[in-house]
């Protein structure tokens, strides 16, 4: 059943305009004309320079660093589209910032992921399209539909092309929390699963101290949803090399690499390659291979606009 919206419009803020262009190219439409700028005092300003009345509007904006700026841009874009009488407003958030603040793990702290969900809904978002949320239950923070895609099909296609999989490979979860995701990759690659137990010393320092599983003489793939400082994956890679791993690669959905993360990847001798997607513009640097999810997002947008199912996009 086709959605009752006359036209498709894709707009973007300043977070990742290149990804928006790739999505538009894959769909075969022109990116919408919008001015998204900043006043001298730091306030964001948005103006949509074309008619969106009654249109199915998709706003492409990962809330990556600087997270607060990009989140505020997105909220203002939503308000501008709503006041321009858009038929439906879809927030395309390939990387959902604040997702790690999804529970109270200390006294007197907020659940910021829920707050962001409330802000988006209050601003006027009708639907959210996201990729590999840090915690799948964040979907439940929204009182509007959420289409939660996975980067696994894109990453697995590349990994299989590199010859990874089978008895000579091992998928490793760099912490206990990532076991479910890593197990899915291990099943898809038909290889064993191992786990590294870690201890977080600070926000930027991680100690990997125990390996559960056998990696000696194997090609190892560390799987995680995101990396920022590369502390977790480099600590895990060092331990895996000590345990006799033949080679170590890492695959993450979101390479939100800052200066420290790129420095660690450049200096480490344990990781041959970090494979990530272009969900954020920071996914670049030494030893980094960036795969595009523009095609995946484009197909999802086309199906959402047409009122079709997106379930088959989850297949790996």
Catalytic residue numbers, as ranges: 198
Beta-carbon contacts of 115 under 8 Å, excluding residues fewer than 6 positions away, are: 98
Cβ(120)–Cβ(75) below 8 Å? yes
**Bridge partners, 86 (sequence order):** 53
d(CA 62, CA 16): 7
What is the SS3 string spanning 99-141? CCCCCCCCCCCCCHHHHHHHHHHHHCCCEEEEECCCCHHHHHH
Residue keyed to tokens 């923070």: 141
Cβ(274)–Cβ(290) below 8 Å? no
d(CA 148, CA 131): 6
Question: Residue 185 CA to chain centroid, in angstroms?
Answer: 17
């Amino acid at each position: 059943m086709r959605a009752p919206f006359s036209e498709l419009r894709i707009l973007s803020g300043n977070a990742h305009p290149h990804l928006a262009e790739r999505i538009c190219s894959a769909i075969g439409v022109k990116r919408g004309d919008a001015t998204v700028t900043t006043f001298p005092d730091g306030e964001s300003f948005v103006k949509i320079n074309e008619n969106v009345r009654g249109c199915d509007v998709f706003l492409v904006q990962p809330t990556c660093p600087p997270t607060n700026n990009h989140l505020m841009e997105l909220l203002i874009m939503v308000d501008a589209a709503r006041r321009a009488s858009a038929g439906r407003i879809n927030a395309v958030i390939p990387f959902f910032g604040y997702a790690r603040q999804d529970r109270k793990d200390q006294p007197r702290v907020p659940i910021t992921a829920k707050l962001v969900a409330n802000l988006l809904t209050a601003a006027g978002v009708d639907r959210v399209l996201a990729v590999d949320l840090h915690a799948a239950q964040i979907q439940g923070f929204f009182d509007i539909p959420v289409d939660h895609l996975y980067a696994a099909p894109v990453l697995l296609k590349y990994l299989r092309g590199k010859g990874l999989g089978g008895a000579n490979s091992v998928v490793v979860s760099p912490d206990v929390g990532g076991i479910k995701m890593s197990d899915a990759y291990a099943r898809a690659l038909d290889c064993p699963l191992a786990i590294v137990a870690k201890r977080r010393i600070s926000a930027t320092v991680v100690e990997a101290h125990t390996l559960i599983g056998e990696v000696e003489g194997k090609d190892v793939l560390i799987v995680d949803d995101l990396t920022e400082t590369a502390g977790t994956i480099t600590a895990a890679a060092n331990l895996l090399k000590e345990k006799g791993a033949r080679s170590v690669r890492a695959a993450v959905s979101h390479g939100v690499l800052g200066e420290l993360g790129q420095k660690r990847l450049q200096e480490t001798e344990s990781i041959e390659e970090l494979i990530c997607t272009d969900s954020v513009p920071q996914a670049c640097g030494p030893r980094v291979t960036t795969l595009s999810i523009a095609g995946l997002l484009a197909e999802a947008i086309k199906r959402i606009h047409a009122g079709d199912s997106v379930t088959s996009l989850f297949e790996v």
